[in-house]
Amino acid sequence: MNANKVRQKRLALIVDLDETVCTEFDVPVETAVAVLRRVDEKKVDVHYVTARTGVFREGTERFLEAHRLPGRTNVHYCPDTLDSWEHKRRKHKTLSQELAVIASIGDSEEEEEAAAAVGMCFVKVDAYRPAEAWLVLEGWISEAGGFEAVGVVRGLDPGSQT
C-alpha cells in the first residue's frame, strides 16, 4: 500500500456524561460545557460513552442540544444486554481502533479501566473539583490543535484588535 494513501484517523474525545458533563442528569458542569463548546467539530469528534440506557435518550438529547454541545449524534447508550463496565470497555476499544483518541474523561473506575485497557490517556473527574480535570483535558485538546480559532468562533478577523 502506498504510504501517501494511508488515511489518517480523525481526532476524537471520549466523554462520560453523568458526574462529568452534568450532575443529576441535567445540571451542567459549567467548565465541561465551556471546554466542549470550543472543540472544532471539523477536526475532533466527541463521543459520549455512557451507562445510560436508551430509556434516557430523549432527556440526554435535550440536554446536549440545550447546551449546544458537540457530538450530539455520537451518544453510545448502554444496551440492556450488557453491564456498563463491559459496554464502556467495548466502546473504548472500538473507538480507539477507528479514531485517534486524544483522551477519555470520566468520574469512575469504569472509564479509567476501559481507557487503560487500550492504552488511552484518561482524565479522572473529581466530583468536588471537576474544573481541574477539564482544564487538564483542555490543555491536551489545545496541544492536538482541536479548538476553533478565537476569531472564527467570534466571527472576527483574527488580526483585528476588537
Dump pLDDT digits (tens) for 69-81.
999 999 999 999 9
The residue with cell 440526554 is 60
Q: What is the mean pLDDT of the chain?
A: 90
pLDDT, position 149:
72
Crossing angle, helix 84-98 and helix 109-117, to 10 degrees? 40
Report the predicted TM-score, pTM, of the whole model to 2 decimal places. Answer: 0.88
Element (H, E) at 83: none
Residue 149 three-state SS: coil
pLDDT, position 160:
34
Residue 148 banded pLDDT, cuts 50, 70, 90: confident
**Percentage of residues in the chain with pLDDT exceeding 90?**
86
| Mean pLDDT, residues 130-140 taken together | 97
In the CATH scheme, what is the code of domain 17-145?
3.40.50.1000
- Strand residue runs (E) in the chain: 11-15, 22-23, 27-28, 44-49, 75-76, 100-106, 122-124
The residue with cell 479548538 is 147
Q: Rg of the Cα trace of the chain?
A: 16
Strand partners, 123: 105
Q: Is the pLDDT of residue 57 over 80?
A: yes
pLDDT, position 7:
61
Q: CB burial class (10 A; 0-12, 13-18, 19+) of residue 1? A: exposed
pLDDT, position 150:
56
Q: Is the pLDDT of residue 5 over 60?
A: no
